[in-house]
Structure 1
Amino acid sequence: MKIIDKILRKESLDNYLKTDSKFEKTIGPKDLLALGIGAVIGTGIFILPGTVAALKAGPSITISFVIAAIVCALAGMCYAEFAASIPVAGSAYSYGTIIYGELPGWVLGWALILEYVLAVAAVSTGWSAYFGSLLGGFGIHIPTAISGSFNPSHGTYINLFAIIIVLLIGFLLNRGFQSSIRINNFMVFVKIAIILIFILVGIFYVKPTNWKPYFPFGVHGTLAGASTVFFAYLGFDTVSASAAEVKNPSKTMPIGIIGTLIIATIFYVAVSLVLTGMVPYTKLNVANPVALALQLVHQNWVAGLLSLGALAGMTTMMISMIYGSSRLVYATGRDGLLPKVLGNLVGEHHSPRNAMVVVTIFIAFLGGFVPLDQLTNLVNMGTLLAFALVSLGIIPLRHRQDIPNTGFKVPGYPFIPIISALACIYLITTLSVETWIGSAIWFGIGLIIYFSYGIHHSKLAQ
């Protein structure tokens, strides 16, 4: 077999469905929405509306969020059609392997592993910092040596609480997804409640004069703001990773993906509207703009709740991303591209326990020891590449007679998938040179793994 035939061999949907049928189907629409909201709405809702308003968009930040949501929804609809048509574990990796072939699927999976792992590791360090601040309020101070990544010149050797929270979430997920879902749903409820409290309290201090001028940086500033806040919506793709464990996926998956984006947009716009109405946008370029707004109107008790909301937001994001990454690693192990032990479903709940353990340990190591300041920019590259290829994949998907779809279909075909892909490619071109170099190194490592191991151990090769 020629090398080109090997790398473009495609897996069949029937084989995936047969293998993934061992998963317990326990996730309903409400759980899926909570999983998506948990992944998308994090601490950014307390920060981005203020800083982007101050630097780029002014009060028109509300329109920036709507524009970003529309662009994200284009990719979201493409994910929803794939999830309804191909209800298997592995998200874009599995879609790519069925539609494009083995190597393109592997590249997609490798890109998403980068997104999930780095995102969780970065958030775990933020969680640790917030938790340290919370303890400091009670007079408990964490020793410097265990409060940051390995950097002896700054006196830090290990970020202990970042490791602990990742290991704890991994342990909970390994005990069965049902118990983890209940914890996630509760955390999402807490987070949404605190956001609603801010909106309901802050609305009484809104001064319409603060919304003038509405476009202080012009329409260009509003569009620049949309380009920045686009990344606030990333994470909804983790919903598609759960397809093999969802009841009635052809209907439930589109509800989870598109519903997540709609709800997230409503909250982002509402927070932006209230925040820029409470405080002139020029004063919002601070690390904690929402807390500042509340302190200026002497509502410090609500500002105190924000730390709790931030911790809840980061916890739900880590639950969703660790869950999604374990299913992704499971899928590559299932296909033999990584060691097959990672593709086993074990225990009474038939969960990918081995993949979960490996993912949890790797993320805990990164969060505990590795400085992630620059690496987190790579998340955007991996995500946008996946979005672009999934969007374009709708076109060959519609031509596959062996993949019936009686559920959701992207409207405006083929224009919306093409527009979605072009929008993602445009955003890729705006990423920094450092991000491009880091991504090239990451994908280079991925290709070495594929050609030295995956291509020879692939189940398709057998």
Structure 2
Amino acid sequence: MAKKERVVLEKSIKPAGVLALAIGSIIGWGCFILPGSMMDKAGPVGAIIGLILGAVIMLVIAKSYGYMIQKVPVSGGEFAYAYNGFGRNHAYVCGWFLTLGYLSIVPLNATALSLLAKFTAPELLTWGYLYTIAGSKIYFGEVALASSAMLIFGFLNYRGSKGVAGVQVYMVALLVAAAILIAGGAISSESASFSNLVPYFNPDVPTIAGIVSIVAIAPWLFVGFDTIPQAAEEYDFPPAKANKLIILSILVGVGIYLLVLVATGVVFPWQELSAGNHVWPTGFAMEAAVGKAGLWFLVIAISMGICTGINGFYMATSRLLFSMGRAQVLPEWFTGVDKKSGVPKNAVIFTAAVALIAPWFGRNVIVWVVEMAALGTAFGYMYTCFGAYREAKKADGRNVEIPIKSGTALAGGLLSFGILLLLCVPGSPGFMAHESWYALGVWVALGAVFYAMQAKRYNALSHAELDYLILDKKDSSDKSVGECDENIMVQPIINTGSTISAID
């Protein structure tokens, strides 16, 4: 059976763009909304310890990502790593969960714009009441705002990776600058005092339990650094540099989280700033310390955090879909690449189309789906780390610029498994809500049905063909890959500025 040549993406993204994509995806609206609830759970110092421990765990896991990017510098990230280490069926499971995980974060960020509007101008978007679903009142104004944001960034992603990265750099610069300004202003204000952080731990919660409750949400807080491998095929620089970019993105991320948390806690005694006393503790504290100007700088920071998250996960989702389409586990339609911009246009269109449906179900439903989809992130972490462990044990495992010790990769895999347990074991701090388990059941069932539909075509591919399509590895002994008979017409496919032959 004739096979089409492997479709590739254009190398157009500079290191600054990749770093901005990761930082912007890590620092979202939660950085500026959650300090009050984190202090409720663990106290200010307990929350600080939890955030630092969470960052350390992510750094251990991220080491495997930096290693695998060098070994497998292609789009698809964890999907490709799962295939490389464990085969096609594991790749499907990993890719299926990650798809929903990345995709659901796009509307989650977009609907956060409506939350921001409720904090700053409660009546601005609450018009055009439509219905109530799962406790969320759906207003046309809020749906229109979220949809507009997703359409704008969908169009930007359709126009090209270089433009996406460029815009992300400017937005992240504004985000970081605004966060530093407001936090610095709050900490240096006359009303600020570090004595307001006493008691350092929540006296009503066991200290260890409080800290663990913060560590449990670390995968959600730091999700975003894993957008870096999704764009590996488009790096306009050596893949080894990605290792430093991943580490730097996590360090910047935890730095901003800690800065905002401390700035919130020093303005008033932290127990007065509990989420139960104020709708938005951080906003209340910043306005009291810095005035209206500080509040509006905070709004700018949150807006940039939301927009960079939408932008970053648009790219991550579309590259994952493109990679799965190239492997023929998804329809070949997903490999459609725009001749001018060099981006996977059909994957971008699909991401936008599905994301635009979500706001009509309300934010509560989206949160349930995202919480469930956090399992996909944990699966991605595990497959990457255990895959790096197996790769590092091979004879040529150190044949990269920045190698990894097999023990480090194994530790990352075990930590990832621990994250999975926090989500799945009843009574644990991160145990998912019942509604999220229902959503998980639906998604698993859909995955089984979809796999049954695709299995014949997917399993018909030889290992050599899949190695070529997913990993860009050619096997000279397999004539079905990259070769054609004389009587088969070869047609050019113009893609990302180069001519690629297709066997039809």
- Structure 2 length-normalised TM: 0.81
| Residue equivalent to 2:298 | 306
- Amino acid of the structure 2 residue aligned with 1:224: S
CA contact (8 A) 1:336 1:458 kept: no
Mark the CA change 1:384 to 1:57 in structure 2 (over 3 Å): closer, same or farther.
farther
| Residue equivalent to 1:366 | 358
| Residue equivalent to 2:453 | 452
| Residue equivalent to 2:242 | 253
Q: Is 1:113 aligned to 2:105, yes or no?
A: no
Q: Is 1:438 aligned to 2:421, yes or no?
A: no
- Amino acid of the structure 2 residue aligned with 1:379: A
Q: Is 1:423 aligned to 2:418, yes or no?
A: yes
Q: Is 1:262 aligned to 2:271, yes or no?
A: no
Q: 1:148 Cα shift?
A: 8.2
Distance 2:394 2:132 in 1: 48
Distance 2:459 2:315 in 1: 24
List alignment gaps of at least 5 residues for structure 1: 1-14
Distance 2:302 2:314 in 1: 18
Mark the CA change 1:275 to 1:369 in structure 2 (over 3 Å): closer, same or farther.
closer
Instruction: Out of 224-233 and 69-78, give the one that drifted further.
Output: 224-233
CA contact (8 A) 1:84 1:405 kept: no
Mark the CA change 1:439 to 1:353 in structure 2 (over 3 Å): closer, same or farther.
same
Q: Which has the higher strand share?
A: 2
Q: 1:183 aligns with which of 161, 164, 167?
A: 167
Trace 1:66-81 onto structure 2 (pairs within 5 A).
66-81=52-67
Trace 1:50-129 onto structure 2 (pairs within 5 A).
50-129=36-115
Q: 1:155 Cα shift?
A: 6.5
**Match of 1:350, SS?**
coil
| Residue equivalent to 1:5 | none
- Amino acid of the structure 2 residue aligned with 1:436: W
CA contact (8 A) 2:104 2:355 kept: yes
Q: Deviations over 1:101-126 (max 9, x none)?
A: 11110111111111111111121111
Q: 2:380 aligns with which of 386, 408, 411?
A: 386
Q: 1:368 Cα shift?
A: 4.0
CA contact (8 A) 1:394 1:417 kept: no
Q: Which has the higher helix share?
A: 1
Distance 1:307 1:247 in 2: 34
| Residue equivalent to 1:49 | 35
- Structure 1 length-normalised TM: 0.88
Distance 1:391 1:116 in 2: 19
Mark the CA change 1:378 to 1:32 in structure 2 (over 3 Å): closer, same or farther.
same
CA contact (8 A) 1:210 1:278 kept: yes
Rg larger in structure: 2
Distance 2:450 2:20 in 1: 35
Instruction: Out of 411-420 and 333-342, give the one that drifted further.
Output: 411-420
**Match of 1:338, SS?**
coil
Q: 1:402 Cα shift?
A: 7.4
| Residue equivalent to 1:10 | none
Q: Is 1:161 aligned to 2:145, yes or no?
A: yes
Aligned pairs, number: 443
CA contact (8 A) 2:61 2:413 kept: no
Q: Deviations over 1:185-222 (max 9, x none)?
A: 11111111110111210121331212323234424322
| Residue equivalent to 1:196 | 180
RMSD: 2.8
Mark the CA change 1:278 to 1:60 in structure 2 (over 3 Å): closer, same or farther.
farther
Distance 1:292 1:360 in 2: 35
- Amino acid of the structure 1 residue aligned with 2:347: A
CA contact (8 A) 1:59 1:273 kept: no
Distance 1:153 1:102 in 2: 40
CA contact (8 A) 1:391 1:420 kept: no
Q: 1:209 aligns with which of 174, 177, 195?
A: 195
Q: Deviations over 1:306-364 (max 9, x none)?
A: 12221111000000001110001111111111110111323123221111111111111
Q: Is 1:240 aligned to 2:229, yes or no?
A: yes
| Residue equivalent to 2:272 | 283
Q: Deviations over 1:407-443 (max 9, x none)?
A: 3333444542343334323323342252334223212
